[in-house]
Amino acid sequence: MKRVGVIGGGQLAWMMGDAAQKLGLELVVQTPSREDPAVAIAADTVLAKVDDATATAVLAGKCDIITFENEFVDLDALSILAHQGVCFRPSLEALIPLLDKYHQRCYLRDLGLPVPEFFAIEPQDKEKIASKLGFPLVLKSRRHGYDGQGTFIIKDFASLQPKLDYNITESAFLIEEFVPFERELAIIAARSVDGEVVTYPVVETQQEEQVCRRVIAPAKITPKQAAEIEAIAHTILNSLQVVGVFGIELFLTADGKVLVNEIAPRTHNSGHFSLDACETSQFEQHLRAVCGFTLGNPALRCAAAVMVNLLGYENSQSDYEQKRSHLLQIPQAHLHWYGKTESRLGRKLGHVTVLLDNQNQNEAMDVARSIESIWYPNIPIG
């Protein structure tokens, strides 16, 4: 039985569990805590931080291939293992241009893809910011930002200065223009060992406080826009010679222009709907790709779907059993609870996907509001 090592033991690795069983694979995870979700589904576990390359060497001894649940790794240290014959998929070479958000944006620009205006700035250069881009603007940490962490919408210089002063020890920042988008979009794409690329339907993502709150599949866009986004995905994955699943986030402007925002070199929150709504989930697709199997069909098996993240809104040890029971009473609802033992503000505790019989945007939003009225306190049903 083939064993796949996964660096990271959070919900993304946990959601590979059913797919691994279906494909006759075993998962071995490297993660710092026995309480992390994927420990429950793993055949074996290496307890260590994801950037601990010494632990990854131990992981390599327990599996055939190593893949990634998150990108917070030490590529220089892992490259030593790669030279020793450890198989990483996607390859470390594919990750090199992506882990630093400034380098990633430069890579996309150099591919000729449309991106927001941007530049890198060191803390000592903060006086130059206003002259380069007007306000509002977006400030991002170049490394280790996710779920809104390290991303700030800055309205004026008075708001900017404390952010830079507080983060003065960080090596650098990415500054980009604020895009007054009409909507945010995403696409999940997979590339096989043989270079086959498949894409999932383009979805609309809705964020609050820079954290994904809802996903609607498929997005309400024109066939031309969908084709453009699919072409962007093909360009990126083929240029990087990726093996595995990537998530690509985009902006759609009011005049219909598509801009590439960020790439996640792994399975992605915007693809969670695929667990229940698609012929092949993004998690099965990722395992198929990294193991050299034929890629599966990414098509929707329903007219549409809406996915809502269940985010922590309090500090608690509750498993929210009553709320989860109510959520499951929604017709065609599928609840995925990540088994985390602690709730805190903004933490992703689970998600709900509801399959829909039509592509009515208003109906999708009504379903999303129904979910949120059950989950979040003090939100009226309506």
Q: Hey, what domains does the chain have and what are their CATH numbers?
A: 3-88 (3.40.50.20), 117-177 (3.30.1490.20), 181-375 (3.30.470.20)
| Cα–Cα distance, 9 to 55 (Å, whole number) | 14
Cα R_g (the chain), whole angstroms = 20
Note the pLDDT of residue 138: 87
Q: Name the pairing type of β-strands 65-68 and 3-7.
A: parallel
Task: Measure the CA–CA gap between 242 and 94, rounded to whole angstroms.
Answer: 6
Q: What pLDDT, on the 0 to 100 scale, is given for residue 130?
A: 58
How would you class 108 by CB atoms within 10 Å of its CB: exposed for 0-12, middle for 13-18, buried for 19 or more? buried
Cα–Cα distance measured from residue 272 to residue 199, given in angstroms and rounded to the nearest whole number: 14
Distance CA 48, CA 223 (A): 46
Omega prior to 123 cis, within 30 of 0? no
Q: Are the C-beta atoms of residues 191 and 244 closer than 8 Å to each other?
A: yes
The pLDDT, as a whole number, for residue 166 is: 56
Identify the pLDDT of residue 52: 96
Nearest to 283 by CA among 27, 2, 95: 27
Residue 379: the pLDDT is 61
pLDDT of residue 381: 44
> Bridge-partner residues for 264, per DSSP?
247
Q: How high is the pLDDT of residue 226? A: 98
Q: Are 225 and 204 in contact (CB under 8 A)?
A: no
**In the prediction, which pLDDT does 137 show?**
87
What pLDDT is recorded for position 285? 98
Contact by Cβ (8 Å): 115, 248:
no
Q: What is the mean pLDDT of each run of 10 residues along the chain (382 residues)?
A: 96 98 98 96 97 96 96 94 97 96 96 93 61 79 70 79 60 82 97 98 92 96 98 98 98 96 96 98 98 98 98 93 96 96 92 96 95 85 42
Extract the tokens encoding 65.
């291939």
End-to-end CA distance of the chain: 51
